[in-house]
Each structure stands twice: as structure tokens, then as C-alpha cells.
Structure 1
């Protein structure tokens, strides 16, 4: 049996659809989850969101034991969390970082990225389609 692909989402992503839709779009996180599950077919997707840094670190550690790949939108923790960086560095599975917007083209404080150095790949600026590209890649990487 193939291990699931974990899709972990960080702070404020529960507000998708209502928070700054001109930047993040009108789709909700539930919409993204549902469309990813359809796309995945018979592959199991474990899709989660938390606003807690410690919870996200715990889930990354769990993914390393239980998942075949990790898709991560760390939200603001991308720019602030050394703890998340360290947890990701301990992972031996493929890690695909996803951002709805392109942080490199936004505010200066978003230029710092603690996730990218530990990720296998980064997809940014493509809106919710980035999740789907990440899922395609994760499936191919774990086939």
C-alpha cells in the first residue's frame, strides 16, 4: 500500500476566499482540498491546516514517518520559522513548497524563506493551480 501524500497548510490559509482575494483568490481551502482529492484519484491525500507553528512542526515530523511526499504551504512561517526549517531538513521524503502568490515579488519581509533551502521544489505565484502542479509532481516522484 502506498503511503499518503501529506498536504500541510500554515497560518491564515483557513481564511482563503475571504482574505485579500485580489492576492490569494476566491477559492477556499476546502475547494482546493476537494479538487486535489479528485485529481489524486486512488492516491490518498492527507490534507491539513493549522495556525500553530508547533503543530505544523509536529505534522512535518509525522509526514517524514508516514507520508510518501509532502506538499507544504507554510504561509507566514515560511519567513519566520527556524523550527520549521529544522524539521524539514530532517525529512527524507520529497518536499514541494507551494505559495499562492509570489513572495519574491511582494513586501521585503517576505524575501526571507526558511522553507526553500529544505524543499525539493518550490511552486509560487500560480494561485491554487500551484497545489495541482505540486500534486502531479509528488505523484510522479513517488510512483
Structure 2
């Protein structure tokens, strides 16, 4: 990723994206994800060519009244971390910058590779999530 691409992507995420933790499956711990919603599929296709991820269609309940909408979802850990590392210096929305740094600095520390947690590890993981969502 080139510097100008990282800055551009940071601007798009500041405006139309989110950096969050989500569950992919019901019994799973939350993991980082970057999402960008837009009615401009060409924009999302361009961003996908740089960042990876997948584009999904959003349900349009009023086709005559609303444009079709799409979401770029970046869910694979190495892709999420790569994008966050590249764009973090250019993020301007304070909450998104803090969330990016929180994930980069703490996620690996509280996440066991095999997904099995001792009671203390589980408490650390849940505290990490709680503090993440408290970021304003």
C-alpha cells in the first residue's frame, strides 16, 4: 500500500467506515473488523483491490426510493492489522484512531491462538473488549 492510498483509505474510513470488534459465530470471541458502506460499488472495488476483504450487497427495502448499497468487510486478521498499521497515522476521527491503536497494541496480547482461555485469560479478553467499546 502506497502512502497516498493509506491516507485516502483513512479518509474514507473516517467518513463512511467503522473499526470494531464483532463475532463471526455465536460462540466465538469478538475479533477486529473494518467495514466501509457506500452506494458507490466502484469505490469499494478499488479499496478492496488494495486492502482485501469482500463486498456484500445490503438489502434495499425501497428500491425506487433508495440506491443500492454495498459494504466492504475486512475480516481476516492479517488484512485488518495491515490496513490499521498503514492508515493509523492518517486517521483524523479521534475515536477511530484510538480504536485502531487499541487493537494494534492489545489484541494479540489477550487473544490465544488456539482459542482456549484460562479464567484469568478470559477475564483479560473480556476486559479488553469492554475497554474497546468504552473508547469515545
The TM-score normalised by the length of structure 1 is 0.30
The TM-score normalised by the length of structure 2 is 0.31
* Greater RCO (CA < 8 Å, at least 6 residues apart): 1
